[in-house]
Amino acid sequence: MKNFTKILFLVGFISQAAIGSASAEDVFPEPLKGAKMNDLRLVPTQTGGRLKPFDEFARETVLSLTGMRSFGKLDPSEMLISMMIEPKVWSELPIIRVSNDELKKQMLLDLGRKYFSPSELMKNNIFLQYAQGIEGQGGQVTSKGIDVTTSKKDPRTEELKRVVDRVTRFQSLVGGQLWMVMPDQAVALVEGQNQKWINLNEAMKLDHPAMKPVLGMLKAYLERNSQDFNEQSQMVRVTISNSVPSMQDHNYKIKAEVLYNMLRPFLQAMIFYLIAGILWMFATGHRFARMMAKFLTFSAMILHAFGFALRCYVAGRPPVTNMYESIIWVSFGVMTFALLIYAKHKHHILLTTSTILAGLSLFAADAAPMVMDPTIRPLVPVLRSNYWLTIHVLTITLSYAAFMLAMGISNVSLFQFTRATSENNEQRISLLNQLSYRALMFGTVLLAAGTILGGIWADYSWGRFWGWDPKEVWALIALLAYMAVLHGRYAGWVGKFTFPLWTVICFSTVLMAWYGVNFILGVGLHSYGFSNGGQAVMASFIVFQGLFCAWVSVRKKQNSTGTHVKV
Amino acid sequence: MAQRTLKIAHQAWKILISLKFAVVVMVLLTLSLITATLIESSVDTKTAQYFVYRSWWFFLILASFGALILAVAISRWPWQKKHTPFLMAHAGILMILAGSWLTYVNGIDGSLRLSEGEVSSSVELDQQVLVFKKNEAMNSVSFPWMPASMAKNFKPISYPEFGVKVEKFISDSTPKFQFNPAPTGTTEKTGAAVLVKILGAPMGGAPEVWMWTGDPAWATQKMGPARFLIRSEETVLPPSEPGEARFDFVVGKKGELKFEATSPRGEKRAGKIALGGPDPVIINPGWRMPIQLLVKQFVPVALNQTEYVPAKERSDSPVSAIQISLIENSDSKLWLGLGDRAEFTSHSVDQVSVGYFQKRVILPFALRLKNFEMKHNPGTMDPASYASHVQVVDSLQKSQSDMDSLESHTIEMNEPLKVQHYTFYQASYVPDFPKITTTILSVNYDPGRFLKYSGSLLLVLGSILLYLAKAVTRKKAVPQS
């Protein structure tokens, strides 16, 4: 925010020049035919506290502007180049996302539109007032060394803040301040020290030889000369890479990250899982369909694991720190537990449930990049280089996976009660309950172990084993809830019907511990995971689940009048 | 009669070991925990602790949880081999509860604040005390915190042996600084006060600051590398340290205001401050950093009449405040924010000073901060890690050079330091500009650790075995595919 006034100034300048040319139809620039982006994508750059490929930088920038990691016909990398070359065109195009209707009303914007052009936002009074007021605000350091702003957030202000940030980002991009193009050669590098990079603007002023191909590349794009562009971008990759000290350490990581971005392994896995799930559900009778389902499930898991490994490699740590990463891990956990139980019980329903759950979870993770940020970011100090942390989080989230599987199977079990009672059906229900009991066993042991490991970690790094922190407390609540059900089952009060019912209900405590503490309560020491959004989705899931339970209960009552189903 | 008691005891035992009771306790515990997290989310952590986690009834639920687990384990007597997993799991829970109790009663969880070069052994706890000082006698009385909803109906508490009464309590307060001209013949402490605004200060600037000669804590203000202070002409202070920028407001004998500015390189600048004109007085101390001082108000003989009012915005670390008065003369009321001290002088009561402080424990040794170090993520100002380099000082009589030669230890995030029973963790720091020089360590002594850890191990192993045993017995009972 430092250069904000400067940037505002710049914006005024640019948008004023462009006001006259606003047209009714938005014509987005076409991709440059024959231009290859491969080299540009691999150009190293430094933003967000780490070295990364240009491709990732472009995707993050596009995400922060539009709310999606790629937008329109252009490849994100190409889109950034195009923006830098033709700022006037882009500042008239609707690329800035404004998603809060209340805010739109306040800003007198068209409610029917999702995207607005930077220049029209820059002319908006409310936007300008807020943008000027935002400067003096800084972060806070609390007693436990974590940056938090826990005062209840007003969604309008939050969104306005983001919109201001989006526009600022656009302006600094087109002003040459966002792309950190090369390491600062003026400052001698000290081992392990903070290496500063300079942005395009500063580099141009220095007249560094590495800038020649950069300018050449931009020029080639402006002239729409694809051959020249390809040659120059290759030069850019070589010269910039050469200017990075110890580039050989980063080379593979940069390539891996681009591969990860281009392949989108979790998206592929999601599609495979969902198709496999449908096949398992309807087509297990056919030999070919069964083979197909097996193959798809297997491939999805391979892709899933590969993506996971790639992400670990790029980030240099296990992905355990935010909602997005935990969903990826949990959905893999669901598959693992399903296979473990399948190894013994050989029941298709395990694969049906788990593939559908994994597919839907991955879909949820991918669908809302603004809520669940898929960006790989450096860790806050408290989470760094800690063995116990990794073990703790992986264990506890693995327990969520087991509970999720139990929830899925229990829902199937509940569904059986809507059918007419028969000997066959009875047996089926017993078996399903047996399966979800297995999953609960895994779940409770892992949750107990994970919670305790969390205590050990907290003891090791903060000096207290247990501090009634909301995240800890909700893990305990979930554990107690499942323990109550298991003890109830042991005592015989929880029967064939109430066991799956309670298993399903108890999953809401897991949702609360997993999602709710960070997204709804928003207090406590786990603040590095706090975020906003998705409440409506969560609420509708819970409402839907509740309605389903109610419907099953009613159907069951209708079925059981005069039959012998024991509860 | 005896038979009847036995019968009742038997009934009670039956209930205690019944699964129904166990499930009821679990459900109660769950519900109270849910309530607590909701309170924490909507009010704050301390309120949740007050109403739930540290309440008697919550303790009762936990105690009955412990009792029933113990009872259930005993009820299986005589124990057999097949009971082992069950006993392990339940003994584990009991040990965790017992360990937690030990920590709660005998443990220490506090914080130690150290500036570079400072030696300290005083650990601040999250409890508050009133410290009375009367005729050289000192006494400290604990003064428990309470949430805003309880503070509304606060009933005054008297401390007759000191002649002092606590009139009001605010759980989350903000100070309203007021230094007003003292009426003649006042019995309260007076001093010269000046209200200053520092212009062009780094990090977004400082708000207006009062400085007052009435109390050493009020007389100096440190801001980054600069120190601002107010003193009377007679008071001679040691010269400023090399590298320190110092600005002295000097109150002359006739009540006039002068200044002396010393730059980090020792250059001095002095002059008079002529107040009362139509234009605001701005002083340039002549330092390299572009700082100017705007003198807004000067009161030669002032009373500290700072008041505390409930904070408008909820804060993460609320500061409580109390209003005190003399029992015999409740006209003179004083506000004390947490960390403040005040003095009463009256005719019938001897001089009494009252402090409202965090409770402290003194360690049997001291720590000295050599330096504080912070690393950033490449290309950003986000902290990547921070570390305190400290030395353990076992005797305060050591000379400076002796101290310098002590062995240095590093306390980092996830790298605590153990000295005797105490463990020191890197918790936080005091943000400062241009360099951070004050670290906040959390200090911990936990006598329940061993019990908690071994209990945890037993619990987890026990539950794994319990499930394994179940799987095995089921297989035996129903031999099928």
Q: List, for residues B345-387, the tens digit of each pLDDT value.
A: 665 657 788 999 999 999 999 999 998 988 877 767 777 788 9
Given a contact cutoff of 8 angstroms between Cβ atoms, the answer to whether B417 and B424 are in contact is yes
- Residues B83-104 have a mean pLDDT of 94
Residue B119 CA to residue B400 CA, distance in Å, equals 11
Tokens of A309: 């490994």
Long-range contacts of B178-184 (CB under 8 A, 24+ apart): B178/B304, B178/B305, B178/B306, B178/B307, B179/B210, B179/B212, B179/B299, B179/B302, B179/B303, B179/B304, B179/B305, B179/B306, B180/B299, B180/B302, B180/B303, B180/B305, B181/B299, B181/B301, B181/B302, B181/B303, B182/B301, B182/B302, B182/B303
Question: Are A445 and B463 a contacting pair at CB < 8 A?
Answer: yes
DSSP for residue B351? P
Cα(B85)–Cα(B465) distance, integer angstroms: 5
Q: Which of A48, A464, A521 lies at the smallest CB-CB distance from B109?
A: A464
Are A150 and B40 inside 8 Å of each other by CB? no
Min mean pLDDT across A211-220, A330-339, A455-464, B56-65 is at A455-464
Q: Tell me if B456 and A452 make a contact (CB, 8 A cut-off).
A: yes
Distance (Å, whole) CA A48 – CA A55: 14
- Same domain as A279, residue A237: no
In a domain, A521, yes or no: yes
- Find chain A residues with C-beta within 8 A of B436's C-beta: none
B456 touches chain A (CB under 8 A): yes
Residue that has been written with the tokens 């990049």 in this structure? A369
Per-residue pLDDT tens digits for B166-183: 999 998 888 888 898 988
**Distance from the A513 Cα atom to the nearest Cα atom in chain B, whole angstroms:** 11
Q: Does B431 touch chain A (CB under 8 A)?
A: yes
* Tens digits of residue pLDDT in B149-170: 888 889 999 988 888 899 999 9
For strand B179-181 and strand B190-199, is the pairing parallel, antiparallel, or unpaired?
unpaired
In a domain, A257, yes or no: no
Q: Pick A154 or B426 by higher pLDDT.
A: B426
Residues A328 and A362 in one domain: yes
Strand, helix or coil at A352? helix
**Crossing angle between the packed helical segments A211-222 and A226-243, to the nearest 10 degrees:** 160
What is the phi/psi pair of residue A89, to 5°? -65, -50
Judged by a CB distance cut-off of 8 A, whether residue B386 touches chain A is yes
**What's the pLDDT band for A385 if we cut at 50, 70, 90?**
low
A196, A435, A445: which to substitute to probe chain B, counting the most B Cβ within 10 Å?
A445
For residues B46 and B171, give the distance between their C-alpha atoms in angstroms, rounded to a whole number.
10
Question: What is the rounded average pLDDT of the residues B122-130?
Answer: 91
Q: Which chain B residue's Cα is nearest to A449? A: B460
- Does residue B62 contact residue B93 with C-beta atoms inside 8 Å? no
Provide the H-helix boundaries in B165-229. 216-219
Reference A443, options A408, A467, A413; nearest CA is: A408
Closest CA–CA distance from residue B413 to any residue of chain A (Å): 6
SS3 B250: strand
Question: pLDDT at residue B316 above 70?
Answer: no
Whether the bond between B434 and the residue before it is cis, its omega within 30 degrees of 0, is yes
User: Which of B342, B359, B376 is at the close of a domain?
Assistant: B359
Q: Confidence class of residue A460 from pLDDT cuts 50, 70 and 90?
A: confident
Examine the domain organization and report whether A556 and A469 are in the same domain: yes
Contact A565, A426 (CB under 8 A): yes
Q: pTM value?
A: 0.83
B327 vs B477, higher pLDDT:
B327
Q: Do B413 and A463 touch (CB under 8 A)?
A: no
Q: Which of B37, B53, B460 sits opposite A445 (nearest CB)?
A: B460
Q: CA-CA distance, A538 to A523, in Å (whole number)?
A: 19
CB B210 within 8 Å of CB B179: yes
Cβ neighbours, 10 Å, residue A110: 10
Q: Are residues B454 and B385 in the same domain?
A: no
pLDDT for position A109: 84
* Residue B185, CA distances (Å) to A51, B343, B345, B350 in order: 70, 16, 12, 17
What confidence score (pLDDT) does residue A154 get? Answer: 61
Q: Is the dihedral of CA B38, B43, B44, B47 positive or negative?
A: negative
Q: State the pLDDT confidence band at B439, using cuts at 50, 70 and 90.
A: very high
Do residues B154 and B263 both lie within one domain? yes
Average pLDDT, chain A: 83
Contact (CB<8Å) B379/A474? no
Please state, in angstroms and rounded to a whole number, the distance separating the CA atoms of residues A440 and A408.
12
**Amino acid found at B417:** L
Most confident of A186-195, A458-467, A508-517: A508-517
Q: Domain check: are A287 and A153 in the same one?
A: no
Q: Is a pLDDT exceeding 80 seen at residue A57? A: yes
Range in A104-113, A478-487, B194-203 with the lowest mean pLDDT: B194-203
Q: Are A174 and A302 part of one and the same domain?
A: no
Same domain, A344 and A420: yes
The per-residue pLDDT for A127 is 76
Write out the DSSP string of A73-127.
Answer: SS-HHHHHHHHHH-HHHHTTS--EE---HHHHHHTT--TT-SEE-HHHHHT-HHH
The answer to whether B47 faces chain A, any CB pair under 8 Å, is no
Q: Which residues of B touch A502 (CB under 8 A)?
A: none
Cα Rg for chain A, rounded, in angstroms? Answer: 27
DSSP code for A136: T
Q: Assess whether A287 and A165 both reside in one domain.
A: no
Helix-strand-coil percent breakdown of chain A, rounded to 5?
65, 5, 30
Tracing tokens 């590095």 back to the chain, one arrives at A528
Size (chain A), residues:
567
Whether B36 and chain A come into contact, CB under 8 Å, resolves to yes
Q: Say which amino acid occupies A269.
A: A
Question: What sign does the CA torsion over B471, B475, B480, B481 have?
Answer: positive
Among A480, A520, A527, the strongest candidate for a mutation testing the B interface, having the largest count of B CBs within 10 A, is A480
Residue at A338 is within a domain: yes
Residue A465 contacts residue B103 (beta carbons within 8 Å):
yes
Q: What mean pLDDT comes out for the span B220-247? A: 80
CB-CB neighbors (< 8 A) of A465 in chain B: 99-100, 103, 446, 448-449, 452
Whole-angstrom distance, CA of residue B173 vs CA of residue B356: 14
Q: How do beta strands B245-251 and B157-159 pair?
A: unpaired
Q: What is the mean pLDDT of residues A316-341?
A: 90
Is A294 in the same domain as A420? yes
pLDDT of residue B126: 87
Interface residue B427 vs chain A (CB under 8 A): yes
Domain of A482, in residue numbers: 264-560
Domain containing residue B183: 127-359
Determine the average pLDDT of the residues in B415-443: 86
Q: Is A248 contained in some domain?
A: no
In chain A, residues with a C-beta closer than 8 Å to the C-beta of B55 are none
Per-residue model confidence (pLDDT) at position B321: 92
* Domain edge (last residue) among A211, A243, A275: A243
**Using CB atoms and an 8 Å cut-off, which of residues 287-316 of chain B contact chain A?**
313-316
Do B201 and B63 share a structural domain? no
Is the backbone peptide bond immediately before B78 cis, with ω within 30 degrees of 0? yes
User: Are B102 and B197 in the same domain?
Assistant: no
C-alpha A153/C-alpha A206 separation (Å) is: 43
Residue A183 near residue A243 (C-beta atoms within 8 A): yes
Lowest mean pLDDT among A24-38, B6-20, B47-61: A24-38
User: Last residue of some domain: B328, B359, B390?
Assistant: B359
Looking at every residue in chain B, the average pLDDT score rounds to 85
CA separation for the pair A376, A312 (Å, rounded): 10
Instruction: Answer with the one of A243, A272, A292 that is the final residue of a domain.
Output: A243
A193, part of any domain: yes
Give A-chain residues touching B38 at CB under 8 angstroms. Answer: 521
Mutate which of A150, A468, A472 to disrupt the B interface (most B C-beta within 10 Å)? Answer: A468
Q: Is the pLDDT of residue A349 over 50?
A: yes
**Helical (H) or strand (E) element with B18:** none
Residue B54 forms contact with A (CB below 8 Å): no
More confident residue, A291 or A69: A291
Q: Which of residues 176-235 of B touch A (CB under 8 A)?
A: 203-204
Query: Tokens at residue B78, please?
Result: 């005589």
* Same-domain status, A508 and A364: yes
Which comes out higher in pLDDT, residue A196 or B361? B361
Q: Does residue B90 sit in the same domain as residue B211?
A: no
Would the CB atoms of B467 and A441 count as touching at under 8 Å?
yes
Does residue A353 sit within a domain?
Answer: yes
The minimum CA-CA distance between A28 and chain B, rounded to whole Å, is 33
How many structural domains are present in chain A? 2
Burial of A400-411, coded b for 16+ CB within 10 Å and e otherwise, reads: bbbbbbbbbbbb
Cross-chain residue pair A523–B40, CB shorter than 8 Å: yes
Q: Mark whether B462 and B399 lie in a shared domain.
A: no
Q: Do A381 and B314 touch (CB under 8 A)?
A: no
Strand partners, B426: B441
Residue B473 Cα, gap to closest chain A Cα (Å): 14
pLDDT digits (tens, 9 = 90+) for A171-186: 989 988 889 888 877 6
Domain boundary among B359, B378, B408: B359
Does residue A139 have a pLDDT over 90?
no
- Is B64 near chain A, with CB under 8 Å? no
With CB atoms and an 8 Å threshold, state whether B449 touches A473.
Answer: no
Same domain, A412 and A324: yes
Rounded CA-CA distance B87/A449 in Å is: 17
Residue of A nearest to B99 (CA): A465
- Given a cut of 70, is residue A165 above it in pLDDT? yes
Torsion sign (Cα): B349, B354, B359, B363: negative
Tell me the C-alpha distance between A163 and A107, whole Å: 12
Cβ of B348 under 8 Å from any chain A Cβ? no
- Quote the CA–CA distance of B395 and B403 in Å, as a whole number: 10
Q: What is the mean pLDDT of residues B388-415?
A: 83
Chains A, B: CB pairs < 8 Å: 165
State how far the alpha carbon of A5 is from the alpha carbons of A10, A11, A15, A134, in Å.
9, 10, 15, 11
Q: Which of A406-410, A543-547, B204-208, B352-356 has the lowest mean pLDDT?
A: B204-208
Number of domains in chain B: 3
Kindly report which listed range (A238-242, A440-444, B125-129, B308-312) carries the lowest average pLDDT score: B308-312
Cα B188 from Cα B179, distance rounded (Å):
13
Burial of residue B435, with CB atoms counted within 10 A of its CB: 0-12 exposed, 13-18 middle, 19 or more buried: exposed
Residue A62 within a domain: yes
A457 domain-assigned = yes
Based on the domain organization, do A14 and A154 belong to the same domain?
Answer: yes
Q: Tell me: the pLDDT tens digits for B449-461?
A: 999 999 999 999 9
Whether B184 and B296 share a structural domain: yes
* Euclidean distance between the first and the last CA atom of chain B, given in angstroms as a whole number: 59
CB-based contact A79:A62 (threshold 8 Å): yes
Q: Beta-carbon neighbour count of residue A533 at 10 Å?
A: 16
Residue B203 confidence (pLDDT) above 50: no
- Any residues with CB less than 8 A from the CB of A93 and at least 6 apart, and which? A26, A28, A117
- A298 and A150 co-located in one domain: no
Judge if B116 and B216 occupy the same domain: no
Q: How far is Cα B152 from Cα B218, in angstroms, rounded to an integer?
A: 30
Amino acid found at B73:
A
B199 and B343 both lie in a single domain: yes
